[in-house]
Amino acid sequence: TVPATSTASASSDVYDVSSIVENCMPSVVSITNVGTQEFRTIFGNYEQESQSSGSGIIIGQNDSELLIATNNHVVEDADTLSVCFVDDQAYEATVKGTDADNDLAVIAVKLSDISDDTMSQIKIAEIGDSDQLQVGEQVVAIGNALGYGQSVTTGIVSAVNRQLEDSDSENGFIQTDAAINPGNSGGALLNMQGQ
């Protein structure tokens, strides 16, 4: 068994895709957001419960919580959030902080809520340096594609430091040709060192 305080890879090693998936899947989570959506019709306004899915990456742990990075749009307007780990066990999560301009959020699951069995199967992701990415470098994407559970796609870095017209973010984006589907939001884009 591996405690959650271990990291998902050793940065000097280069892995094949199946090794990256085996090593890094325990760092990726599925997130379910249950919220309330308001509809306006010619008959008036009404509210309906809505559910959406996304992904997240285990990025750290403090004295009382496991911390998970995701996209802000995955968790915004949530009445309740649940996080499903690699062992298919789901736990309630809370939002720790958000940055809407960069579409980032950090959510937390209480360590006291997580079973020892789950803790033995999850890992903290090793965070890479995006400034070191090169165009043409192979990458692997892991996420909760289409809300059906974790899936894996591969591709290359198509461009770096891309700017988007409709984004308020001053940061450049990574463009990849790895297939990204709804539900992948917040998931991991990994280099061949599993970072």
DSSP symbols for 146-171: GGSS-EEEEEEEEEEEE--TT----S
Contact 55, 29 (CB under 8 A): yes
CA distances from residue 142 to 48, 73, 81, 83, 150 in whole angstroms, order as listed: 31, 18, 20, 15, 6
Of these residues, 9, 30, 55, 185, which one is catalytic? Answer: 185
| Selected catalytic residue, list 19, 73, 158, 169 | 73
Q: 63-85 pLDDT, tens per residue? A: 999 999 999 999 998 899 999 99
Residue 117 bears catalytic tag = no
The question of whether 73 is a catalytic residue gets the answer: yes
Tens of pLDDT, residues 83-132? 999 999 999 999 999 999 889 999 999 999 999 999 999 999 999 999 99
* Across 154-163, average pLDDT: 93
With left for phi above 0 and alpha for psi between -120 and 50, is residue 183 left, alpha or beta? left
Q: What stretches of 14-148 show up as alpha helix (H) in DSSP?
A: 17-24, 72-75, 116-121
In the residue annotation, 103 being an active-site residue is answered as yes
